[in-house]
Every structure is written in C-alpha cells, then in structure tokens.
C-alpha cells in the first residue's frame, strides 16, 4: 500500500467516525444497519478496514453527508453544528403535534431574557 492510499484510508476513517458522532449514532447501531459486527465499524473508524463502495454510499446516507466528502474529497472537516441541526430536525419531524408544541414552549422558555 502506498503512503497516499494509507493517508486516504485515514481520512475516510476520520470522516466516518466524526460523521457518526455528529449524527449521534453508536457503532453498534451503524453496524446493525449495515449488517456488520460492531468491531468492523471500529476497524473502519481506526483505518484498519477498507470500506466498500456500497458501504460508503450507505454510510453517507445514514450520516446525511455527501458520498464524495465521506470518501475523502473536499474540505477536511464537517460543521458539527450543521449535522446536529439536521439530526434535530429529523427527530422533530417524528414528534406528534402536541409533543412538538410542548417542546417548542420548553425551548422558548430557555431563551435568555434581556439584561444579563
């Protein structure tokens, strides 16, 4: 393996790990969804196991990131706040209308009031 391919594997490993964490998912959940054992996901995130094209596509969809980015193209980092907002939006869509209304009231009560 060349240094370039080792570097690429390390970039993919880091992006898989960072994206999984930003999406709030466990290695166990990712493994189960992909039909893998949890140690396989750990090995992917450590750069010890290559990712197939199919796995890369499924991971990108699961983490709501671009396949090319997950595969090592583009900027080095993903904005974790953007992913957290996307995750929150997906979870909010699952709430019943009454529960959503209650949650919005709670959020509104947490806003800082004028002064300090």
Summarised one tens digit per residue, pLDDT across range 2-61 is 666 668 889 999 999 988 888 888 999 999 999 999 999 999 999 999 999 999 999 999
User: Domain residues of the chain, as ranges?
Assistant: 1-78, 79-116
Q: Name 80's Cβ contacts closer than 8 Å, sequence gap at least 6.
A: 18, 22
Model pTM score: 0.62
**In CATH, what number does 1-78 get?**
1.10.260.40
Packing angle of the helix pair 38-45, 27-34 (nearest 10 deg): 110
């Amino acid at each position: 393996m060349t240094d370039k391919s080792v570097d690429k594997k390390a970039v993919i490993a880091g992006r898989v790990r960072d994206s999984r964490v930003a999406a709030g998912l466990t290695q166990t959940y990712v493994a189960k969804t992909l039909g893998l054992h949890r140690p396989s996901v750990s090995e992917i995130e450590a750069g010890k196991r290559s990712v197939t094209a199919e796995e890369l596509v499924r991971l990108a969809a699961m983490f709501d990131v671009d396949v090319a980015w997950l595969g090592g193209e583009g900027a080095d980092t993903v904005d974790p706040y953007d992913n957290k907002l996307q995750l929150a939006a997906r979870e909010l869509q699952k709430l019943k209308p009454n529960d959503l209304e209650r949650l919005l009231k709670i959020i509104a009560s947490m806003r800082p009031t004028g002064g300090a």
